[in-house]
A and B are shown apart, each in its own frame.
Chain A
Amino acid sequence: MQDSTANDAAWLRGIWEPVSGYLTAQKLVDWALAALVLLVGLLAARLARATFRRLIGVRLRAQHSLVAEKGIFYAVLGLAAITALHAAGADPSVLLGAAGILTLALGFASQTTVSNLISGLFLVGEQALKVGDLIRVGANEGYVVSIDLLSIKLRTFNNVLVRLPNETLLKSEIVNLSHYPIRRLDIALGVAYKEDLGRVQDVLLETAAKNPYCLDEPKPLFLVTGYGDSAVLLQFSVWFTRDTYWESIHRMRQRAFEALTAAGVEIPFPHRSIYAGSVTEPFPVRVVGGEDASGR
């Protein structure tokens, strides 16, 4: 029992003596100073970021401002961290040397990250999109909510956040749906072969004229795009501002359909004409039901 107690005490002494030798009063002061420097550095980084945003960032594009703000924040914070380490008694030059080796190792280990970082710089420089734009990348469509160093984030129409790596974006086809101030809505439809296409055109143009959000100029476009199996294929194109485009899609299609229906224009469903040949007898037709289905 006594031996065990003595062993524990020796073990504790073995730990405590080096620690107590290191944790001198001076060291505690140095570490407290380092913590203070780090704290001040954090506040200074935030202040620098806020000042930049207020004075310069408001004049820049949103994504440029975001990138610059992050750069300033981390640069000030990095300087504060090096100063704090120096205050704590560490030699920054040794750290920087170690950081060089570490960076090399990390570089090999983080090729994807570096690729995303560089891709992000190209994307920002190219100005193909900005925060607030409505874009389509592959199957994802939504508003750009942020452009970061490694990725951009989209908010889709059903309120889902999608993160797209910058490298993927740089390799993909980006469709910016809100780059230009006005957009064209193409409505594809078909009418029966018996219809007067001039009248159909008039009905559709009148529908556009009655919608105040449909732009007067550029003028609506009416095109015959082909001859389908069951209908003459048409395209009716109207222009809207990008702000009213989405709410107008449904309304315009609905009103065009209603106007054509009201004008008695047939929008046919697929059908087949069965031709028995000119020399054949007509198909026999038997009426079932009628006035007296029972035959009485």
Chain B
Amino acid sequence: MTGGRRAPAPWWGRFEIPDGQAGRWRIGPFTLSAHWRPPEWRVARESAGDLLDDVVAVDCPADPDAVEPRGELVRIAPATPRGVLAITPKLADRPVVARPETTFRLLPGAQIDLFVSTPVWLEVGIGEPPQTILDEASWRLSDTWFGAVTGPGELCYAIHTAARLRLENLPVLPHRAVTKVRLENRAGETVSLERLNLPFPHLSLYADAGGHLWTQVVSVRLEAADKLAEVDLGEGPPGEAREPKRVAGPRLVVHRNILVRAKSAMLD
């Protein structure tokens, strides 16, 4: 990401919690606490406060008396009685619909890059090998419908932070991942871009050297004749991500790199 910005510490990975101890993770607006009292885990999480909160605080292991459970508390009996907790950032479990600040017109032959920032999900596993006990958004996005009201359509998430032409204009937050979208109009007519439907369940997640999260590049080529949009999922994150390492694979594996969707299913 750009220089001069504070690099957030990675909050994901494998954490060992001794018997009777606890851990607490504050990742932006999301707070997770876990108490390991063999043979049970007590896990609580809460997503509240400011969406643009950039706090990252990992306190593990911690004094259990100092870690107050916030939000809904769940008691869990693991299969393996080990004080190991694994946190993995994931991408949204449904497609995400983004908007530019205002309607964008793409003239024939034009090509632009857009940057979109979306909250990540947290997959929490306990024991070894980890058993997933939680897969939740760091910030619950609004539902939205992409398609006709009488169907067919697709239930998606909507993000209210606009897609930006410049990366510098995006909020750099520890609980959000940045997606670079390359739009290319190969059609012989002007295309209006009001909404963009991004196939997040098909994307992988990467972390750069600064601990920022990125997704694969998504390239959308609009063809003229058949009104189809070719969607190309890049091999990795964009060049703006320094020394990227993959931290999570896609939720849904696509066997072909090129997806072909109706234009109306990608753009509105």
A residues with CB within 8 A of B: 180-182, 209, 211-218, 239-241, 244
Contact = CB atoms under 8 A, between A and B. Distances in A.
Contacts of B146: 217
Interface string B60-104: 000000000000000000000000000000000000010000000
Contacts of A209: 142, 160
Interface of B: 97, 140-146, 149-151, 153, 155, 158, 160, 195
Given A216-B158, A217-B97, A181 B143 contact: no
The 4 closest A-B pairs by CB, nearest first: A216-B158, A216-B144, A212-B140, A217-B144
A292 B49 CA distance: 52
Given A216-B97, A216-B158, A217-B158, A181 B151 contact: yes
A5 B226 CA distance: 102
B143 A241 contact: yes
Contacts, number: 45
Contacts of A211: 142
Contacts of B149: 180, 182, 218, 239
B36 to A, nearest CB: 31
B142 A180 contact: no
Contacts of A213: 143
Given A216-B97, A216-B158, A217-B195, A180 B150 contact: yes
B179 to A, nearest CB: 18
Contacts of A241: 143, 145, 155
B143 A212 contact: yes
A211 B142 CA distance: 7
A212 B141 contact: yes
B15 to A, nearest CB: 29
Contacts of A217: 97, 144-146, 158, 195
B226 to A, nearest CB: 26
B143 A215 contact: yes
Given A217-B97, A217-B158, A180 B143 contact: no
16 contacts: A180-B151, A181-B153, A182-B145, A182-B149, A209-B160, A213-B143, A215-B142, A215-B144, A216-B97, A216-B144, A216-B160, A217-B145, A217-B146, A239-B149, A241-B155, A244-B143
A151 B149 CA distance: 31
Given A217-B97, A217-B158, A212 B145 contact: no
B145 A181 contact: yes
A57 B142 CA distance: 37
Nearest to B154: A181
A212 B92 CA distance: 15
Nearest to B147: A181
Given A181-B155, A241-B143, 16 more contacts: A181-B145, A182-B149, A209-B160, A212-B140, A212-B143, A214-B142, A215-B143, A215-B144, A215-B145, A216-B160, A217-B146, A218-B145, A239-B145, A239-B149, A241-B145, A244-B143
A215 B142 CA distance: 7
Contacts of B144: 215-217
Contacts of B155: 181, 241
Contacts of B97: 216-217
A190 B260 CA distance: 49
Most chain B beta carbons < 10 A, residue from A209, A212, A239: A212
Contacts of A218: 145, 149
